[in-house]
Amino acid sequence: MASIRDIARRAGTSIATVSRVINGSGYVSAGMRARIEAAVAELDYRPNAGARAMRSGSSRMVGVLLPALDVHFFGILAHTVEQALFARGYQAMICSTAESPAHEAAYVGAMLAQQVDGVILAAVTSDAGAVAKLRAAGVPIVAVDRALPEVPAVAVDHHAGGRMLARHLLDLGHRSVGVVGAPGHSAPVQERLAGITAELAAAGLAPVAVRLGPEHGFEACRGLADALLAECRPTALVGTTDMAAIGALHAAAGRGCGCRRTCR
C-alpha cells in the first residue's frame, strides 16, 4: 500500500506539501497540487481515516440516518446531501433505519465508532434515544423532516400539509373522506393526520375511517386501504405518504370502486 512518503517521492516534493494537499490545509500552488493529485491517483493512495482523525480531531465524515432509501423522497435526499458534503470535502455515512428504533441505535453506535463529525437525522420517534447518545459524545446533530426537541431542524409543516390535503378534497365537494398511512408511529404521519382531522372538523366533518399501520411498504399500505374499503366506501382517500397513496389507488382499483381522487 502506498504511503504519503511514496506520494512525495513520485511528485518530487516534501511530505509536508503532500500532507497539505491531502488534508486540504495550507497553500499549495496549482501546478504542484496537480502533480500530487496525479501521484495519488497513480499510486492509488488511500489515507488512513482513523489515523487522520486522531491527528486532526476530524474524520471529515458525516452520518446521514434516514428511515428508508427506497422511498423516493429519502432517496433523493440522501443523494443531495451526499453530493453537498462531497463538494465540501466530507464523506457521507448513509444508513437506513427501516423505521426501527433498534436499527437506529445500532447505526448510531457505528457512527460513533467512526468518529463522525456530525449527524443528519430523520429520527424514528420524537423521543429518539439516539439523540442522547450523540449529545453525550459531543456530536452535532441536525434533524431533517422530523423535528426533535432542542435540535436544529430542517423540516416542513406537516400539520399544514394535512390541512391542505383535506381542504383540496372539500373544495372538490367530498364529504366522505378516509385516511390511510404508515408507519403509524411516524411524527410526520401523525401530524398530517391531525391536520386532515382539524380541517375536516372546521367543516363539521370527521374522517369516515382511518387506517394506520406499522409498515411503510406497498403491500402493507395496499392492505390498509383494502381493509378500510371493506368497511366503508368513502368518496375520497388520503394517503399520508406517497407509498400509502399508491397502495390506496391499487386497493381501490382492485375493489372496482372507481376511486380516482387519492391525495398525498
Q: Which three cell numbers stand for residue 136?
A: 453525550
**Does the predicted model carry a pTM greater than 0.75?**
no
Q: Which of 119, 66, 69 is nearest to 90 (CA)?
A: 119
Does the pLDDT value for residue 262 go beyond 50? Answer: no
pLDDT tens per residue across span 165-221? 999 999 999 999 999 999 898 889 999 999 999 999 999 999 999 999 998 889 999
What CATH architecture does domain 158-263 belong to?
Answer: 3-Layer(aba) Sandwich (3.40)
- Please give the pLDDT value at position 64: 97
pLDDT tens per residue across span 24-54? 667 889 889 889 988 888 888 776 655 555 4
Average pLDDT, the chain: 88
Cβ neighbours of 5 (radius 10 Å) = 10
pLDDT tens per residue across span 205-261? 999 999 999 988 899 999 999 999 999 999 999 999 988 999 999 999 998 865 444
CA–CA gap between residue 262 and residue 235 (Å, rounded):
10
- Please give the pLDDT value at position 171: 97
* Right CATH for 4-47 from 3.40.50.300, 1.10.260.40, 1.10.3720.10, 2.102.10.10: 1.10.260.40
Q: Which of 146, 125, 142 is nearest to 188 (CA)?
A: 146
Neighbouring residues of 244: CB distance < 8 A, sequence distance ≥ 6: 180, 181, 182, 216, 221, 224, 225, 264
Q: What is the dihedral of CA 255, 215, 68, 238, to 10 degrees?
A: 50
